[in-house]
């Protein structure tokens, strides 16, 4: 187990000693000194490409399991870090992005659209995302705002598709 590293960023060596921190910090992407959430979302792209090869039911099952396990991972990482939602914890971005990208074709245009919409919802946090971000704590609180941001991005993509705009 990694010793408490409250109020600091872990080193990559510390991440490698803790599978929980390694996942929570997005395989190291959350260590980025600038925009770790965006870098974490970028790091989720190769895994999305692999997930997109699965049938939709398999894709959704992996995302659901990742979200449930993410509650534990993010909770444990937050306790280790001594901060409720440390900026380097990006597993929630991985899952939120995968939700936004569910059922989309693997194309540059769908990737760009899903990425931009997810990041906008995650950064701007319109209601109810902002309310959840402020009021819900623990690992569930870390995960839920990004899950809702992913669902909001997916809904916008679905509306654009239904309107024939994509």
Question: Structurally, how many domains does the chain consist of?
Answer: 1
Per-residue pLDDT tens digits for 37-71: 999 999 999 999 999 999 999 999 999 999 999 99
Asked, for residue 4, whether it belongs to a domain, the answer is no
Residues 6+ apart with CB under 8 A from 70: 91, 92, 94, 95, 139, 142, 143
Closest CA to 156 of 129, 107, 118: 118
CA separation for the pair 24, 92 (Å, rounded)? 8
Asked, for residue 100, whether it belongs to a domain, the answer is yes
Asked, for residue 6, whether it belongs to a domain, the answer is no
Residues 6+ apart with CB under 8 A from 76: 20, 24, 139
Q: Which domain holds residue 142?
A: 12-162
Asked, for residue 40, whether it belongs to a domain, the answer is yes
CA separation for the pair 95, 47 (Å, rounded)? 10
Asked, for residue 93, whether it belongs to a domain, the answer is yes
Two tokens, residue 62: 């992996």
Q: What's the predicted TM-score (pTM) here?
A: 0.92
Mean residue pLDDT of the chain comes to 93
pLDDT band for 4, please (50, 70, 90 cuts): low
Asked, for residue 2, whether it belongs to a domain, the answer is no
8 Å CB contact between 70 and 91: yes
């Amino acid at each position: 187990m990694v010793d408490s590293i409250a109020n600091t960023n872990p080193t990559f060596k510390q991440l490698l000693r803790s599978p929980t921190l390694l996942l929570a910090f997005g395989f190291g992407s959350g260590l980025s000194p600038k925009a770790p959430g965006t870098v974490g979302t970028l790091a989720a792209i190769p895994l999305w490409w692999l997930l997109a090869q699965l049938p939709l039911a398999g894709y959704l099952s992996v995302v659901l399991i990742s979200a449930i396990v993410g509650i534990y991972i993010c909770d444990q990482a937050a306790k280790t870090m001594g901060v409720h939602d440390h900026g380097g914890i990006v597993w929630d971005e991985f899952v939120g992005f995968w939700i936004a990208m569910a059922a989309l074709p693997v194309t540059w245009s769908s990737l760009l659209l899903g990425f931009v919409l997810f990041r906008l919802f995650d950064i701007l946090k319109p209601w109810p995302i902002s309310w959840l971000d402020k009021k819900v704590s623990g690992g569930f609180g870390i995960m839920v705002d990004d899950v809702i941001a992913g669902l909001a991005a997916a809904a916008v993509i679905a509306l654009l598709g239904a309107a024939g705009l994509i």
